[in-house]
Amino acid sequence: MTLKKNIGYIGLGNIGGPTAKHIINDEFNLYVYDLNEDAVKTLTDEGAYACGTIGELASTCEHIGLCVRDDKDINNILYGTEGILENANQGTLIAISSTISHASLAQWEADVIAAGMSLVDAPISGGAHGAAAGNLVYMVGCSKDDFERAKPVFETSAELVIHTGKLGSGTTLKLANNLMTYAQLIAVSEAFALAEAHAVDPKLLFEMSKINGVINHNTQMFISARNDLFASGGADLVKEFMAGNAGLGEKDLKCAIESAHAAGIELPLTRLSQELIKGVFLKTINYNGESSNDT
């Protein structure tokens, strides 16, 4: 009988939680850690094992997935007396599925290699719906050997797992994907404003897109959900539900701009998108004047 591999997962939010849930199967034991006790209980009810500290999880698992908000969170997970680097065994594979900066990734790579471990950047696309359905897209940057080691874990929640090349290439592809996503959100918001200004039903754009494919499904879901929130409770309700995503949008676009600068290029539309994206998420842009991004 083949022994089940111990897989760790840190970060059980609306994407990390359902992604981790798919790992619970006949091939893997799942160990989880999150500050949210309810999120942990959701997974332990399905058969996962809860760890009281990051160090406990790190010392138990040969593959550790991270799905947290930003570079700062990953620093807190990797370093310190209870961090992964101080507690994991040599040969442990660390897979980062957060959207991060190349600069931080380079530092983590050096420290992880020095500790005798492997680092994989494995950002994902598909959102919470894709995580729940198990049809995410993984963009994986690492050596071929590490890709083959990590792929079976990724496949538990994926429709497509792409080996993008060396470490960092997965992050590059994710940043490129995200900047296209945010640019479309901004464009569709402006298209709605133009239609409304001429007393034309903007939802007709959705009808047209069923044929011409201009507006993708995810953008349509976002615009519809945001507008429904605004109709129900105004700007305060939109802020309650969308403020976190607005912050992520600004952070992701900042990472893309920094990545472009590191490569010696400029992304003018991305820079403009970073200025606008918060107002688009919170529906605070006044199309008769300037954005009110201070709400």
Cα torsion at 63, 65, 70, 71 (round to 10°)?
A: 0
**Selected catalytic residue, list 21, 166, 174, 278:** 174
At 198 the three-state DSSP class reads: coil
Q: What is the total residue count of the chain?
A: 295
Strand partners, 285: 291
Cα torsion at 176, 179, 184, 187 (round to 10°)?
A: -140
Specify the DSSP element, H or E, that contains 244: helix 217-262
Strand partners, 29: 6
Q: How far is CA 25 from the centre of its chain?
A: 23
Reading phi first (left if > 0) and then psi (alpha if -120 to 50, else beta), residue 221 is in: alpha
CA 229 vs CA 187, 222, 240, 276, 281: distances in Å: 20, 11, 10, 19, 11
Asked if 21 is an active-site residue, the reply is: no
Distance from C-alpha of 292 to C-alpha of 223, rounded to nearest angstrom: 18
Distance from C-alpha of 124 to C-alpha of 127, rounded to nearest angstrom: 8
**Cβ proximity of 140 and 170 under 8 Å:** yes
Residues noted as catalytic: 174
